[in-house]
Structure 1
Amino acid sequence: MSKSTALGRELATVGIFAALAAAHAGVARADDTVKIGEAAPVTGPASYLGKDTENGARLAIEEINQAGLTIGGKKITLVFDAQDDAGDPRQATQVAQKLVDDKVAAVVGHMQSGSTIPASKIYSDAGIVQVSPSATNPAYTQQGFKTAYRVVATDAQQGPTLADYAANTMKIHTVAIVDDSTAYGQGLAVEFEKQAKADGITVLSHDATNDKAVDFRAILTKIKGEKPDAIMYGGLDGTGGPFAKQAKQLGIAVKVLAGDGLCADDLAKLAGDAADDVVCSIAGAPLLKMPDGPAFVERYKKRFGYAPVLNSPFAYDAVGIIVDAMKRAQSTEPDKILAAMPATDHHGVLGETQFDAKGDLRHGVISLYKYVGGKQTLLSVVEK
């Protein structure tokens, strides 16, 4: 064998080992990807809110990856694992199990209380942090799960704030209550009712419908006979908008009080001119009054081509809070992230976020709105 042939074979062998080393390095880099789960309804009547929630988390992950993330001396690339729970409790548990099986490091979600609460046990059993951007039912964090967090005020704050405003500012003396039988709508209505009674408001009735109803005339005809000063509706805008519209059509000339599920910028699309009869609350500060709100709006519009709807800044900060916990733990392991969460002191779009022992905000904010010509108009901001 000539020296040149032997040298050629040696070089070829070196090349093979180099290729294998490069391939191995590629695998090592792939091992440094970390999945962040997200769950919200992107189908069904609340899909536009769910897509806004998903967009907020997606924008945060894209910006973090662009800026570069290093945890424990390793360069980390976040991978977005977004799932559709359709706003259905059963599908929510299936989605939760899928995210666990996907080995996500943490989860942003779910959007609605009715999905968040049943899913929370699955995340708790798996030891995976769950940060809801929008679930307001107090029961979510009252279960004692160490994995459960939220970045909005609860209905135990929102319902009473709405009731206080009705009693003290609107001078409401009697009210009829209707809820959509969901964990969110019913929970908000119950908290409102307790405070309304404490404030001296007489609750004339409390009726239940469902979150797929389209015809409310029977309930509204009964309420019309009761002659309340106002009606409180617990539910989302998909049913609440038509509810307000049908109330106006039946000649019920009173305000409709509602929570953040109904308090959408484009409520007039569903309620028509009855939107101007609505007074509603949102568990959070107005976006443009948030510390980084105006800048967030511009970044969001540049990325998605339209303005934020409601939940996106909360989902955005939920991602930031999870990544902040990773940095403090110097680990992407779920148990290490979980251990770092109680000491959270995050400064983001929402301002400063700290949690109490249950996983609720230490300092919640409730904003109250009315509609003028179908346009959402701020009434007041209440810190809780």
Structure 2
Amino acid sequence: MLILTSVLTTGALTLTACGSRDDGGSGDDSGGDTTLTIGVDAPLSGENSATGLGIQYGVKIAIDDANKKKLVPGVKFVLKALDDKAQPATGQQNASALVADKQVVGVVGPLNSGVAQTMQQVFASANLVQISPSNTDPALTQGKDWQSGDKKRRYPTYFRTATTDALQGGFAADYAYNGLKKKKVFVVDDKQTYGAGLAKIFREQFKKLGGTVVGTDSVNTGDKDFGALVTKIEDAKADLVYYGGQYDESQLITKQLKEAGAKIPLFGGDGMFTPTYIETAGGTSEGDLVTSVGVPVDTLPAAKQFIDTYKAKGYKGDYGTYGGYSYDAATAIINAVKAVKEANGDKLPTGNDLRKKVVEEVGKSNFEGIAGKVSFDEFGDTTNKQLTVYQVKGGKWEAVKTGTYNG
């Protein structure tokens, strides 16, 4: 399912700046406004679509709010959402399509770190800002040698509102060892950039704390039968399974593990944090845990209107994981357009100059979003380092610890 939210116009469109001039007749009050597009790239169908749709609609609500409030006078924002199906090659194609669309002034996404790797160069070459609400692989902002302390930012157009696995993996390991008092863990990953990276960081930190990794294994995305893996876990006598990957596979792993008689919890990262995990695994998910970025969005007063709108509109997907961060990412782009326009005599720059200046202004972001403070460090990483551990209790994700991790 390729979801595109089209620009509703009637009559002639005249290309202006990096957008189009709406000459009226569209049935709204935006006559004479310049139309600019905010792109979204995420898995909107198939694997990971529950969280991908949450990203799309988080951006949609931000755009609707900005237009209603006339946050940027004379500018009407519209959404263009492309489905990457969680596939890196498709993400790269989508990036090229968004770059080619001259109305696009910024992009929110993607969901998956592996997809982001294929998109960064495309956006950087076109000076088009990209803000991911969910990518957590440290290498995306700090380079492949980040663990050795040699941190280098390769793509000045890339930012993220989610904190990294360097913190999330350690935060989870600390809670597993000191909070749950688990000493023997079996670590599994899905071989993908996000999953394998997160599992590695968790594994290393758990061992540093004094825990024992009694076994490791990998699965393939799309796998359904985990009988052999379940046997390995049981034979290893682990008291915890840590999974690096998405909910699609982990919800089946925990179900098959518990049905085989193993009474041990499965712990994972934000890729598992969705109601879909519980719905599929059913009662076997009880006691399982995840870490996710930020604090519970349902507890944030600033997010109340966003949540109410999401529910009232009947939007599909899960807003709880990245919806708030997506809203804030889109708002950062919108605020940047406003700043560029005001600094240019209240006129939008023409051609590629608008995109370039939007990148610069996004880097200066400093505002309170609905999911927390929005600002970025020298690598484009968020300065919001909050993380939360959730556990399935009574068939729902319940926050059990919120804090930060300093290593």
Question: Could you say whether these structures have the same fold, taking a TM-score greater than 0.5 normalized by the shorter chain as the test?
Answer: yes
Structure of greater Rg: 1
Could you tell me whether the CA contact under 8 Å between 1:117 and 1:139 is conserved in 2?
A: no
Match of 2:67 among 65, 68, 71: 65
Deviation at 1:91, TM superposition (A): 0.4
Deviation at 1:358, TM superposition (A): 0.5
Inter-CA distance 186–24: structure 2 relative to 1 (3 Å threshold)? closer
Matches of 2:361 and 2:50, distance apart in 1: 33
What is the match of residue 157 of structure 2? Answer: 147
Pair 1:201-2:177 in alignment: no
Matches of 1:145 and 1:305, distance apart in 2: 33
Q: Residue 70 of structure 1: SS of its match in structure 2?
A: coil
Q: Residue 106 of structure 1: SS of its match in structure 2?
A: strand
Pair 1:216-2:226 in alignment: yes
What is the match of residue 315 of structure 1? Answer: 326
Matches of 1:24 and 1:279, distance apart in 2: 51
Question: What is the one-letter code of the residue matched to 1:370?
Answer: Q
What is the match of residue 51 of structure 2? Answer: 49
Structure 1 segment 129-278 matched on structure 2, within 5 A: 129-143=129-143, 144-278=154-288
Inter-CA distance 26–212: structure 2 relative to 1 (3 Å threshold)? closer
Deviates more, 1:103-112 or 1:92-101: 103-112
What is the match of residue 307 of structure 2? Answer: 297
Structure 1 segment 323-362 matched on structure 2, within 5 A: 323-330=334-341, 331=348, 333-362=354-383
Could you tell me whether the CA contact under 8 Å between 2:390 and 2:400 is conserved in 1?
A: yes
Inter-CA distance 305–205: structure 2 relative to 1 (3 Å threshold)? closer
Deviation at 1:303, TM superposition (A): 2.5
Pair 1:101-2:87 in alignment: no
Structure 1 segment 78-97 matched on structure 2, within 5 A: 78-97=77-96
Could you tell me whether the CA contact under 8 Å between 1:265 and 1:376 is conserved in 2?
A: yes
Question: What is the one-letter code of the residue matched to 1:178?
Answer: V
Could you tell me whether the CA contact under 8 Å between 1:237 and 1:270 is conserved in 2?
A: no
Deviates more, 1:252-261 or 1:30-39: 30-39
What is the match of residue 121 of structure 1? Answer: 121
Deviates more, 1:132-141 or 1:31-40: 31-40
Count of residue correspondences = 360
What is the match of residue 13 of structure 1? Answer: none
What is the match of residue 368 of structure 1? Answer: 389
Deviates more, 1:287-296 or 1:110-119: 287-296
Question: What is the one-letter code of the residue matched to 2:85?
Answer: A
Matches of 1:348 and 1:304, distance apart in 2: 23
Could you tell me whether the CA contact under 8 Å between 2:72 and 2:334 is conserved in 1?
A: no
Deviation at 1:26, TM superposition (A): 10
Q: Over residues 191-237 of structure 1, what are the superposed CA-to-partner deviations in whole Å (9 max), with x where a residue is unaligned?
A: 11111111111112221111111111111201211101211011111
Structure with a larger share of its residues in helix: 1
Matches of 1:114 and 1:270, distance apart in 2: 25
Could you tell me whether the CA contact under 8 Å between 1:291 and 1:351 is conserved in 2?
A: no
Matches of 1:342 and 1:379, distance apart in 2: 33
Deviates more, 1:327-336 or 1:181-190: 327-336
Matches of 1:132 and 1:351, distance apart in 2: 15
Question: What is the one-letter code of the residue matched to 1:288?
Answer: D
Pair 1:33-2:32 in alignment: no
Could you tell me whether the CA contact under 8 Å between 2:91 and 2:119 is conserved in 1?
A: yes
Matches of 1:26 and 1:173, distance apart in 2: 63
Q: Residue 122 of structure 2: SS of its match in structure 1?
A: helix
Question: What is the one-letter code of the residue matched to 1:304?
Answer: G
Inter-CA distance 25–53: structure 2 relative to 1 (3 Å threshold)? closer
Matches of 1:289 and 1:373, distance apart in 2: 19
Identity %: 32
Q: Residue 356 of structure 1: SS of its match in structure 2?
A: coil
Aligned CA RMSD, in angstroms, stands at 2.0
Deviates more, 1:276-285 or 1:161-170: 276-285
Deviation at 1:25, TM superposition (A): 8.5
Q: Residue 123 of structure 1: SS of its match in structure 2?
A: helix
Deviation at 1:277, TM superposition (A): 3.3
What is the match of residue 15 of structure 1? Answer: none
Matches of 2:338 and 2:375, distance apart in 1: 16
Deviation at 1:266, TM superposition (A): 3.9
Deviation at 1:267, TM superposition (A): 2.4
What is the match of residue 344 of structure 2? Answer: none
Q: Over residues 48-78 of structure 1, what are the superposed CA-to-partner deviations in whole Å (9 max), with x where a residue is unaligned?
A: 221111011011111211221436xxx1111
Question: What is the one-letter code of the residue matched to 2:363?
Answer: P
Instruction: Give the TM-score taking structure 1 as reference length.
Output: 0.89
What is the match of residue 146 of structure 2? Answer: none
Instruction: Give the TM-score taking structure 2 as reference length.
Output: 0.84
Question: What is the one-letter code of the residue matched to 2:77?
Answer: L
Long gaps (5+) in structure 1: 1-21
